[in-house]
Chains A and B, each alone.
Chain A
């Protein structure tokens, strides 16, 4: 490590920052007295801060490179600390038990507010896992995912307003309708990939939102739909507090169900087809995978989960309007998937926890939320480009005998 050189570089960066921030940090024009305040101490602060920040940054980068070099040099594939922890049953089993117990007693020991935001986070876990199928597994960048969320929410709200249908009847209908919309979107974009696909899905998301906003007779326009009933439990009357807890448990059950299904899907034939499709389309066709069916199934299944999430969302907030389904929502869900780790279930749960819960607990810094958000994403892309918890599929075969795998 060439420390003198590193220090010199950091020093130059500090100088550069001092120069850049000089006009806004140092000069202050007092318009009343027509004088200029020279705040030199601020210049020093900027200098010192940027010097240390750049030094630490450089140090961390260097450490990361060293780690990579070491990993490349060693013959045996090294597992990272995170992979070792996640694959060690001695750790995962107790952790799972603790999480289950915590999830079970959580609503009885914490306030209604806490239960409420936890339910929101769980909805986002489901959305993230659903989008993970489309983006993480099948590699189709979908920026209009919120459209399916809206379809789910509105199908419950409208069916309830017009036909008085209940939550449990609407849950599968909402999911089914979202799936249908997934297929409808899937057909025209079958030939598209990457950036082009992203643009079209983005447009689709906006179309759905604009329809909901402007077709007053159908969706009640921007004023939205109020007084959506919370889910019932065999007709028992519940207080708001009780029904919030009830929704929380519905969400916990749905998350468990989703994790189960997504895990099964990942290891199934269709999961492998998705992964193959993500890696190489021509090779995929050469091995006899039906491209159309595979892509459509990814869209449809991803959308299904968004639809279910939407139904629960409508039931939880009891009021929906198109403002809940803007492009930011899509980006938020995508961030959850990317930040958490594409293709990784644990990663998506972490991502949802961080992106949904942290802003709630950091209300004090709410003005800086977007700044922190961006900083977190940039830092992550530099230091953990595969997400906080990267997918572990690449190493899981090392356990067990080759014959076992060969026959599977």
Chain B
């Protein structure tokens, strides 16, 4: 579904991604783990066009997207939940969700999706008239994920959904990620610090170090890999 071929992304003169290649198939949950500054978020930003790669190729459904503008990429079916949630603080929950469906014109389906989201996150239905800024961290993360889902993406990119959240909330969010994947068939690309948790929900995983992919395997074997254990799981 999504193919990264040797992409190199720069911030000014600093090469953040030094030739990253990846392959994501339809219906999978893929996780990308690694230390701070390894280039995980940059990979995500490159896919959705906010920081386009300088060289290499990104293919989505066989079409190159590396030179497209972010909004075009969203319209193809790639939605992103940016790091640190980034909801619209002065819009209500409902308006935030409305913004997620910005590119869609099928009102009936949008309404149905909204109901589906309120089913997934009942708390958001309760808070629908509150402004986004008044929600708790966990609720904001739920809202950010919901907003991305409102675009009805085929590929959902999640950037550290567990950031700054209590373990119980993190578990709840990960449960829902799995649920969305199995119920809607949405392909999920998960960037995470919390390697243990990420590898438990994912099918396959990539390990990133210094802008390069150093390991890729299915999640179970990564979990039992000695190097990964030492470096990222703290075991």
Contact = CB atoms under 8 A, between A and B. Distances in A.
Interface in A251-288: 269, 272-273, 275-276, 279-280, 282-283, 285-288
B91 A406 contact: no
A406 B114 CA distance: 7
A279 B90 contact: yes
Nearest to B48: A286
Contact of A286 (B81, B90, B91): B81
Contact of B88 (A279, A397, A398, A402): A279
A272 B95 contact: yes
A174 B144 CA distance: 43
B50 A283 contact: no
B102 interface: yes
A286 B88 contact: no
Contact of B103 (A288, A406, A408): A288
A394 B102 contact: no
B86 A283 contact: yes
Contacts of A286: 48, 70, 74, 79-82, 86, 148
B50 A287 contact: no
A405 interface: yes
B129 A282 contact: no
Contacts of B129: 397-398
Interface in B85-104: 86-92, 94-95, 98-100, 102-103
Contact of A287 (B90, B99, B114): B99
Contacts of A405: 94
Contacts of B92: 394, 397
Nearest to B130: A77
Contacts of B98: 272, 408
Given A287-B99, A288-B74, A276 B91 contact: yes
B5 interface: no
Nearest to B71: A290
B107 interface: yes
B128 interface: yes
A397 B82 CA distance: 27
A283 B103 CA distance: 14
A290 B86 contact: no
Contact of A285 (B70, B88, B95, B111): B70
Residue from the set B50, B79, B99 with the largest chain A CB neighbour count within 10 Å: B99
A289 B102 contact: yes
Nearest to B87: A283
A288 B87 contact: no
Contacts of B75: 288
A283 B133 CA distance: 14
Contacts of B99: 272, 276, 287, 289
B114 A280 contact: no
Contacts of A272: 95, 98-99, 102
A287 B102 contact: yes
A275 B91 contact: yes
B147 interface: yes
B151 interface: yes
A407 B102 contact: no
Interface string B108-123: 0011001100000000
Nearest to A286: B80
A403 to B, nearest CB: 8
Contact of B90 (A269, A282, A394): A394
B131 interface: yes
A47 B70 CA distance: 63
A42 interface: no
A183 B89 CA distance: 29
A288 to B, nearest CB: 3
A58 interface: no
A180 B15 CA distance: 39
A291 interface: yes
Contacts of B81: 286
Contacts of B91: 275-276, 279
A71 B230 CA distance: 52
A294 B198 CA distance: 37
Contacts of A279: 88-91
Interface of B: 48, 50, 69-71, 74-75, 79-82, 86-92, 94-95, 98-100, 102-103, 107, 110-111, 114-115, 128-129, 131, 147-148, 151
26 contacts: A272-B98, A272-B102, A276-B91, A279-B89, A279-B91, A282-B82, A283-B86, A285-B74, A286-B48, A286-B81, A286-B82, A286-B86, A287-B103, A287-B147, A288-B74, A288-B151, A290-B71, A291-B71, A394-B92, A394-B131, A397-B94, A397-B95, A402-B94, A406-B111, A407-B107, A408-B98
Given A285-B48, A292-B69, A394-B90, 10 more contacts: A279-B89, A285-B70, A285-B74, A286-B70, A286-B79, A286-B86, A398-B129, A407-B107, A407-B110, A408-B98
